[in-house]
Structures are given as C-alpha cells and as structure tokens.
Amino acid sequence: MEGSITAELGSRFGEGVLKEETPRDGMPTVWAPAERIVTILQYLKSDISMPYRMLYDLTAIDERAYKRAQNGHAPFDFTVVYHLFSFERNAFLRLKAGLRGEYPSMPSITHIWPCANWYEREVYDMFGIRFEGHPFLRRILMPTTWEGHPLRKEHPARATEMGPFKLFDEKVDREQSALQFRPEEWGLKRHSDDADFMFLNIGPQHPGTHGVLRIILQLDGEDIVDAVPDIGFHHRGAEKMGERQSWHTYIPYTDRIDYLGGVMNNLAYLLSVEKLAGIEVPLRAQVIRVMLCELFRIASHLVWYGTFAQDVGQLSPVFYMFTDRERVFEIIEAICGGRMHPNWFRIGGVAQDLPNGWDKLVRDFISYFPRKLREYDKMVMQNALFKARTLGIGIYTLEEAIDWGVTGPGLRACGLEWDMRKMRPYSGYENFAFEVPTAANGDCYDRAMVRVAEMRQSLRIIEQCLEYMPAGDFKSHHPLATPPVKQHTMHDIETLIHHFLNVSWGPVIPAGEAMSCIEATKGWNGYYLVSDGNTSPYRVRVRTPSFPHMQMVPYISRSYTVADLLSILGAMDFVLADIDR
Amino acid sequence: MNTGHYWLVIGGVLFVLLNTAAGLIWLERRMLALWQDRYGPNRAGPFGLLVVLADTIKLFFKEDWIPPFADKVVFVFAPAVVVASVLMSFTVIPFAPNVVVADFNVGLLFFLAMSSMGVYSIVLGGWASNNKYALLGAMRGASQMISYEVFMGLSLMGVVVLSGSFNLREIVEAQRGGWYILPQCIGFLIFFIAGIAETHRLPFDIPEAESELVAGFHAEYSGMKFGMFFIGEYMGITLISAMVVTLYFGGWLGPAFLPPVIWFVLKTFVFIMLFILLRASMPRPRYDQLMEYGWKILFPLSLVNLMVTAAIKLISNE
C-alpha cells in the first residue's frame, strides 16, 4: 500500500518530475520541484483517492554542511520537508522540496492547510526561508529584534561562540520599542464601525496560562473578537542543541520538551534513533518502556485534570490529584531514580533492569487508583457547574480538527477513533488489550471525558505489563546500544571498546533519516532525525502536538467570553515547553 | 441604656469583629487545608495561630504604593468604603437582648442600604486602578451586586411579613414561637445565595476570578489598602452569617444553659464554616450564567415566596 503512492503521483504529474528516495525508516519519500509543490500538495489533500488530509509537520533542513550526495545529486542549500498523513491509508508521506541560494523563497501553502501558517513562520524564523503569499510572515519563536536565523548552520549554538555581549543605549531603545504594543502589527483592528475594542494581554504571567504564554485578546466588552497567541517565551533551542549533543547525551533534553510526559519523550526520540541504527529492542525492554510511558500518561493527565478544574474555579481537586500523582511518582522514582525527568530510556533499551519489589508498588497502585477515579468523576465531571462551564464551549468538528493538525484526545473527542498505539503500534503496543475512548461533540467537556477514560485504559495496560512482564534483557546487544551492557565489558574486548567509544564520543549512527510518531500524552509526538553518519545528529526536528493545538486557539475562541477562553485553554492540555521547544 | 453600657457595646463589637475577621484568615486557611488533604499554616505559634499576627504585621509594613496611573483620591477612598459600610451594618444587629449598638425601627432597611454601599468600593477601586483586569472585575462586580441586591431585599420581605417589623430585635423576639427557617426556607436559600454574591465569595467570586482576571478589581492594591478589601471580605462573611442567624435561626434564642450571646456566636460560626466549605467545593459559573440564574430563577422565586407568605399571613389573620 505504502509503495503505490509514488506511482500514483508519477502517473499524475509525469515521470521524472518527482524523484523517489528510500530513507532508512521506510516512509514513502518524494522529492518535488519547489515551484510545483502547491499543486502537488493540493492534489494530495483533496483530489487523490484516499487523500492525505493532515499536514502533520512542515520543517526545513540546512543542507549546506551536509557532506554526502543525496539521492544521487549534490545536496541543495536548503530542503523544505512536508510530512502528510492519510487516515484512510493509515500512511505518512514525506515530500521534500530542494532550494538553492542564501535566503531562498518558495510558495506558501497556508491557503491549503490553515495550520501551515505557524509552521511556515517557524521555518522563516529558524532558517530565513521566505514563503511567498504568507499572510503574516514574521518571527514566531525568537524575539523580533533577533539577528540571524538560529537553525542555519552558520548561527552560533552557544554564547561562547559569539562575541562578548554588549548592551548599548540604542540597543536598549530598540528592544524597548519592540516591546511596545501596536495592535496593527499583530493584524488587529483598533475599532469597528460602532465600537472601540479593548486589548487585554492574558500573560505572559497569568495564573490561567500555566506557563509563559501571552494571548492578546481583542475584546468587545467581555466577548472575544480576536485572539493572537504570542509564543516563544519558553523557547530553549532544543532542536539546535541536538546538533551539538551526541546521540546519547541528547536524551535528557527530550525529557524537558513535554515536561509532564517524562520518559514518553525519550521513547519518541529513541524510536527514531533505533530505526536509523537498525536496533531491535528486546521484548522485556519494550514492555518496561510501555509501562513507564503509561504511568507518565496517568501522571500527566492528573496534572491536567486538577488544573482544568482549577481553571473553572474549583479549588480542591488539584490537591487530591497531585497527591495521587505523587503515588505515581513514587513508583517512577523507585524504578528510575528520577521523578519528572527520569531520563531513563537508552538507545537499545532502558538504563537498568526493574528493581526488586517493583511489582508490589505497581499492584498497590492498580488496586488503589480506580476508586479515586470514580470519586473524581463525581467531584468534577458530574458537577453541574463544571458542565455549565464546559459543555458546548470551544467546539470544532472533525473536519476542522484534521485541517488544523489536531491530534490525540482533542481529535478523539470529535468522534474519530484514532490512536497511534492501536493504528500504527510501536514498542509492542499491538500485544496489549485496551480500548480507544472517543466522544462525539468535540467540545471542552468531551475532551475532558476522553482524557479521563484514557487514564482507565492506561491502568489496564499497566496491569497487563505487571501480569505478563517477560524475562530477558533490558537492553539490546547491538553494538550501537549505548552504553553497552556493563557486565560484558570485563569479559570481551569488543564490548569494552564499544563501551569506551560510545561513552567518550558517543555512538556513530549510520547516515540517513527517520521519523517516529507516538501517541504522547497530548497528541502525536515525533522526532524527525537526519544523520550524516556522525556522533551527533545533523538535524533534529521535534514535532510536538501542543504547537498546532495552540495555533487553533483564535479559531475556536472567537465570540466566546474571557471566562470561556480559560475553559478552552484548560481543556486543550498544552505545555509551554511542548509548544516552544 | 446608660452611656457607659453604650460605649462598652460599641467597643466590644468593634474589638470582636476586627479580631474575628483577622482570625478568619487563619480559620479559612486551616479549614481549606483540612478539606484539601494538606496542613495549612501550622508553624507560627500554637496551631499556626500567630500567622494572623504575621500577616497583619506584613500588611502594615508593606510600602504604601499607589500606581502612578491610578486616580489617587478614589484609589485610596475605595477600600475604606467596604470596611466602613460593613461595620455600619453591624450597628443594627442584636447580638443579645440588650447588646445592640443602635436599636433602629428600620434596622433591616438600614442593613440593605449599607450593603448596597459595598458595591461602590468595587466599582471605584476597579475604576481608579486604571487597569484592564480591574476594570473587567469592577464591571462584573457592579452588575452582579446590583442584580443580587434586588432579590436579596425581596427575599427578606417574607420575614418582615411574618414578624410585622423591620426592627431586628423584634424579628428575633417574634421567633420565640419557632424559627423562620421553617416557614421561610425558600427565602433563606435566596438570601444566602444573594449573600454569597454580595460578599463575592466562591462560587460567585466573579469580580476576582483568580484564574481569569488574576485578582480582578483589587489587582493593583497592595499593603494595608489591599488589607482593607481582605478584612472587608471576611467581615462581609460574618455579617451575612449574622444576618442569616438573626432573620432565620432565631438570633440569640436558645436553651438557657448558655448565655444568649454565645448562642448567637455559635450559630454565626456555623454559617461562616459553610462559606468556607462552599469555597472548597464549588467551581465558578460564568458571569452571564450567574446573571441568568439570578434574574430567571431567583428573582421570580423570591416574588412567589413573598406572595405566598403574604397570602398565608392574610388568611391566618382572618
């Protein structure tokens, strides 16, 4: 099935226009000429049978330092990469457009997918590639006064590579004036025919945004006329850091992307690395990974549950839920040693085997937690005031959700039973019995209901891990597994050498590219990695679910009130580090 | 009443009230903590009681800051209004048969008039702050309190019909045969709900709405001026609780083994706890939902209550 798409495209656009490539992850990949990309994408989205309706990711690669031939030709200066997804085919498609020149430009596709808007802004911000026809092409993650485009290879990666920092008066003035708020710059009108609007900054410091997020509201009374999220306050350059970390030492950085998801981030990253390296992860390691991931899903959903209740004014649930989260963390701590960021998965497996007595901790939690979930149902989900605040608020249809790149519980709340763990199983999820909860209306209440039901399913998965935990290795014996199993090093010289090299330099991962996609706590999380056969990645692209979700906020909050906006934000379950990376 | 007794009552009421309001800070934090499975303030002094002292000292010694963009006179005036109006209301409340500051014949009307004054502090404070969050809070507060005042007044009229008096002492005396909570249970519910809205406590803390408006109308206030709003809120709770007790739960009346004033304090205390429990358990409705609830449900209900009460009274008198 996946192979046929290139043939379909070839017959539509003529042989030779599109060049096929076979990457290491086996995803159908096609090089297309940049000037025809709009027609091709338009065709893929609407005209082809079983269309690719979701723009999963849009990013770019600075190829100028890439020292290898690609697909039989010398590398372009830049490559813009589109990842599409088709629900009918259950398949991804990777489309690449090569560009030449220092600051190239290419046509925008914002009129095909609304969610391309922020992605194209991000590419412009990070690479300086301009998109012709983009309605609002300005920096999105970096400050407007930033010089240079960070993900270009010539941009320094750390302060010591730059000159000494000096703050002249004129620079102070420039920064100060950039902070002035001028509604026109954000595409907002000051008044309509019969009313002057009020502009209200929600954030960057605000109790309702759960992080440094600024949303500029254009208000008519308390009604939202328009909203503009201003993101980037939490941007730490995780993608740039990847380019100077070894494949192994990048793992802790992933923990901090979706900082409530913990090891779930490790998994998304490692699935890509393991595809590149061709490592089979032993069964026991897979089940351990699944168990930890599901524990973190519960922990993350508990934080969301409590804070959502707090957002609509209920003060107490958050305390009960954080207490339960603490119980989850007790298990995680006993197994990993860490709590929120255990950094515990390794290339080819996990850091250690499970400790003695882990099964008792998990069993206690499994018998304890369902009772609490029932209690929370009564306290929150069945509360009349809670319902009044969330039912019918922030509705989007399935069509809109797919158009805007909504994934995870937000997508399932629109009625589509689509869970990556079920549909494209990874790390052995195909061996587990669980259901995919869905809802029908796509409002804030349904999104909450799906998440609550998910916690019960996670508990089921954990229970199966507990009952059927296989014996065996917790780490692969593949030479690229890092660090190699220690006890072998004192017995054979091969392992000793690998251990030494993989720890001192880091493993050399074969050249190529691979992408993963997991059902993370908040939606689909994926790492698109490009290796040029070195000890560190050539390009790390982190596709996070919160980014497109946040982009949708203006669309779903118009004509609601300020109070409703807080319900919408609360039901969305975003993490600022997951948006800004 | 001789002058000495008179001053003693005023002094006593002031002393007890201000200390109750301060003590409520501690009580609320401890009770919330108890219901939320945590400790609350437990370090300063026995059971953390001295946290009240620490809070007070902190508030007094904070810089008395007025934002440069604020309307200074009004900004300072607003927090005083809330404390003054609530304290004035207490003058008509009979704590015991002869412990009352002013035994007005129109005591109930005086209470209503004074509690209406409270809305000024919210509106003026929010307006003078010249801050958008404060303005939104003030607008919400004004409409909420003005609407809820209407049927707060109406709900009380049932009591007036039954007792035939606006004098609070006489209303209490009239309950010797039975507390008004039984014949006036609907009136009580409406009055209590309106009272929560008047004191803008959760679930009706819409003018403050921490997760939406940060702190709403008092977002710009700090130091003792914020302290006034703070104390005003706690005294407001005490006032509404005291009024509930006076009007519906027989005021100081109770079995003779305890003195009347103790009965009064105990009953009031129960309702104060109810306020705190409400805060621990309820989410906050949206502003327009609150208005709808008020005008479409509570308002007609209070009218029906008044009419039925009057009709029964009329029939039973004949």
| Per-position pLDDT tens, chain B of length 318 | 577 777 888 888 888 888 888 888 888 888 889 888 888 888 888 888 888 888 888 888 888 888 888 888 888 888 888 888 888 888 888 887 777 777 888 888 888 888 888 888 888 888 888 888 888 888 888 888 888 888 888 888 888 888 888 888 888 888 888 888 878 888 888 899 888 888 888 788 777 777 677 777 788 888 888 888 888 888 888 999 999 998 888 878 877 788 888 888 888 989 999 988 888 888 888 888 888 888 888 888 888 988 888 888 888 876
Res. A99: pLDDT tops 90: no
Q: Find the radius of gyration of the CA atoms of chain B.
A: 20
CATH tag, A238-580: 1.10.645.10
Range of lowest pLDDT (A172-176, A178-182, A344-348, B269-273) = A178-182
Inspect the interface and report whether the beta carbons of A311 and B211 lie closer than 8 Å. Answer: yes
CA of B122 vs chain A CAs: smallest distance (Å): 18
Chain B positions touching A222 (Cβ under 8 A) are 136, 287
pLDDT beyond 70 at A93: yes
Beta-carbon separation of A561 and B281 below 8 A: no
Whether chain B has a CB inside 8 Å of the CB on A353: the answer is no
| Nearest-Cα residue of chain A relative to residue B279 | A315
Angle at A93 between CA A87 and CA A95, to 5 degrees: 140
User: Would the CB atoms of A385 and B285 count as touching at under 8 Å?
Assistant: yes
Q: How confident is the model at residue A304 (pLDDT cuts 50, 70, 90)?
A: very high
DSSP three-state, residue A78: strand
**Would you say A34 and A99 are in contact if contact means Cβ atoms under 8 Å apart?**
yes
Confidence (pLDDT) at A2? 44
Task: From chain B, pick out residues whose CB is under 8 angstroms from the CB of A323.
Answer: 37
CATH 3.30.460.80 applies to domain A4-153 = yes
- When pLDDT is cut at 50, 70 and 90, the band that residue A5 belongs to is confident
Instruction: For residue B307, give both structure tokens.
Output: 């009419």
Using the beta-carbon criterion (under 8 Å), do B36 and A316 form an inter-chain contact? Answer: yes
Compare all CA atoms of chain A with the CA of B287 and give the residue at the minimum distance.
Answer: A563
A389 and chain B in contact, CB less than 8 A: yes
Q: Which residue of B has its CA nearest to A379?
A: B281
A91-95, A230-234, B173-177: least confident range? B173-177
Say which of A207, A208, A313 has its CB closest to residue B283: A313
- Between chains, do B280 and A315 touch, taking CB under 8 Å as contact? yes
Q: A560 at the B interface (CB within 8 A)?
A: no
A200 touches chain B (CB under 8 A): yes
**Of B211, B281, B285, which has the smallest distance from its Cβ to A310's Cβ?**
B211
Q: How confident is the model at residue A74 (pLDDT cuts 50, 70, 90)?
A: low
CB contact under 8 A, B283 and A316: no
* Min Cα separation A448/chain B (Å): 15
Contact check, Cβ <8 Å, B214/A222: no
User: Residue A49 has what pLDDT?
Assistant: 81
pLDDT at A290: 92
pLDDT at A527: 92
Q: Calculate the alpha carbon distances from B132 to A198, A465, A534, B175 in Å.
A: 8, 53, 54, 48
Task: State the sign of the Cα–Cα–Cα–Cα dihedral B196, B197, B202, B207.
Answer: negative
Which of B38, B214, B283 is opposite residue A206, by nearest beta carbon?
A: B214
pLDDT confidence band for A366 (50 / 70 / 90):
very high
Burial annotation A144-169 (CB, 10 A radius, 16+ → b, else e):
eeeeebbbbeebebeeeeeeeeeeee
pLDDT at A332: 92
Closest alpha carbon within chain B to A207: B211
User: Is A566 part of the contact surface with chain B (CB cutoff 8 Å)?
Assistant: yes
Residues of chain B that touch chain A, judged by Cβ-Cβ distance less than 8 Å: 32, 35-38, 132-133, 136, 202-203, 205, 209-214, 279-289
Average pLDDT, chain A: 87
Q: Is the pLDDT of residue A230 over 80?
A: yes
**Predicted local confidence at residue A329, as pLDDT:** 92
Whether B281 and A198 lie within 8 Å, measured CB to CB: no
CB–CB contact B284 A313 (8 Å)? yes
Position A1 scores a pLDDT of 39
Q: Where do the CATH 3.30.460.80 domains begin and end in chain A? A: 4-153
- Are A389 and B283 within 8 A, CB to CB? yes
CB contact under 8 A, B37 and A561: no
Question: Does residue A483 have a cis peptide bond before it, meaning omega lies within 30 degrees of 0?
Answer: yes
Nearest residue, CB atoms, B132 vs list A198, A319, A386? A198
Instruction: Please write down the long-range contacts of B99-106, taking CB distance under 8 Å and 24 or more positions apart.
Output: B99/B9, B99/B12, B99/B261, B100/B9, B100/B168, B100/B169, B101/B6, B101/B9, B101/B10, B101/B13, B103/B167, B103/B169, B104/B166, B104/B167, B104/B168, B105/B165, B105/B166, B105/B167, B106/B166, B106/B167
Segment A466-495 mean pLDDT: 81
Give Cβ neighbours of residue B58 (< 8 Å, ≥ 6 apart). Answer: none
| Contacts B37 to A, Cβ<8 Å | 319-320, 323
Chain position carrying tokens 């939202």: A224
**Residues 6+ positions from B163 with CB-CB distance below 8 Å:** B170, B171, B174, B175, B180
Is the bond into A107 cis (omega within 30 degrees of 0)? no
pLDDT at A458: 92
| Interchain contact A105–B (C-beta under 8 A) | no
CATH 1.10.645.10 boundaries in chain A: 238-580
Mean pLDDT of A218-232: 86
Q: Are A508 and A529 in contact (CB under 8 A)?
A: no
Say if CB A316 and CB B36 are below 8 A apart.
Answer: yes
Among candidate residues A412, A417, A416, A414, the one with its CA nearest the CA of residue A441: A414
Cα-based distances in Å from A418 to A55, A354, A421, A439? 16, 32, 9, 12
**What would the pLDDT profile of A399-413 be if each residue is shown by its tens digit?**
889 989 899 898 999
Is A200–B35 a contact, with Cβ atoms under 8 angstroms apart? no
| Cα A188 to chain centroid, rounded | 29
Chain B residue with Cα closest to A199: B132
For range A288-313, the mean pLDDT? 91
Closest CA in chain B for residue A318 = B36
Nearest Cβ partner for B212 among A208, A315, A320: A208
Which chain B residues touch A200 with a CB distance below 8 Å?
A: 132-133, 136
Say if the Cβ atoms of A383 and B283 lie within 8 Å: yes
Check CB contact of A382 with chain B, cutoff 8 Å.
no
C-alpha to C-alpha distance for B16 and B18, rounded to whole angstroms: 6
* Chain B touched by A319 (CB under 8 Å): yes
Residues of A in contact with B278 (CB under 8 A): none
A298: pLDDT strictly greater than 90: yes
pLDDT of residue A123: 93
Of A200, A309, A320, the CB nearest to B37: A320
Residue A331's pLDDT band, with cuts at 50, 70 and 90, is very high
Could you tell me which chain A residue has the CA closest to the CA of B285?
A385
Q: What pLDDT, on a 0 to 100 scale, did the predictor assign at position B158?
A: 85
Which of A20-24, A220-224, A278-282 is the least confident region? A20-24
What is the Cα Rg of chain A in Å? Answer: 24
Lowest mean pLDDT among A9-13, A94-98, A358-362, B93-97: A9-13
Q: Span A553-569, mean pLDDT?
A: 87
β-strands A539-543, A91-99 pairing? unpaired
Instruction: Compare all CA atoms of chain A with the CA of B133 and give the residue at the minimum distance.
Output: A200
The H or E element that residue A486 is part of is helix A486-489
Are B282 and A314 in contact (CB < 8 Å)? yes
